[in-house]
Amino acid sequence: MYGSYSGYGSNSAMNSLLRSSSASSGNSVWIIISAVVAVIGGIVLYFTFLAKKNEGKYTGFLGWMYDFLTFKKMVIENILKIVYLIIAIFITLSSFAMISSSFLYFIMYLVIGNLIARIMYELFLVVLIICRNTTDISKKLDKKEIVDKKEENK
């Protein structure tokens, strides 16, 4: 009669606590191992695969991966376009819920909401364009310095 009692002081509660503690320590060990491998892997990739001497050396998938990991290809521009389209469609469709309240609210929500979304998108895009233009200018200046040094050596 008393043997089936499973209250706070029972063995099953203690076993459950020990199992969760054991799983938690296992997770902690895995996180530490992951961090160490990530640091070592990052350093090795940086000094081997991503070395400056390898620029332009790779083609196909490895070329794309090299450009991606050296941030020559920006993926945020495509992500921003998709997010803008989703937001614009959401604002347009959700504005129809305002028709029952007032036609004026509907028009304001539709026009002003899409206008604000577009302005925010363009502000983010301006930052990307400035980054791209600065990179292009830097590349052109580097090429000009190389040409100038060659002419000085002649």
pLDDT in tens, 120-146: 999 999 999 998 899 889 888 887 777
| Residue-range definition of the domain harbouring residue 106 | 74-154
Same domain? For 138 and 79 the reply is yes
CA–centroid distance for 120 within its chain: 19
Give 86's pLDDT tier (boundaries 50, 70, 90). Answer: very high
CA-to-CA distance for 96 and 107, rounded, in angstroms?
9
When pLDDT is averaged across residues 61-80 and rounded to a whole number, the result is: 87
pTM: 0.60
Same domain? For 53 and 87 the reply is no
Query: Residue 121: what residue type?
Result: Y
Residue 102 lies in a domain: yes
CA dihedral 57, 61, 67, 70 (to 10 degrees): -90
Residue 5 lies in a domain: no
Same domain? For 15 and 62 the reply is yes
Please give the pLDDT value at position 141. Answer: 86
Same domain? For 88 and 56 the reply is no
Give 18's pLDDT tier (boundaries 50, 70, 90). Answer: low
Q: Where a domain ends, among 51, 70, 89?
A: 70
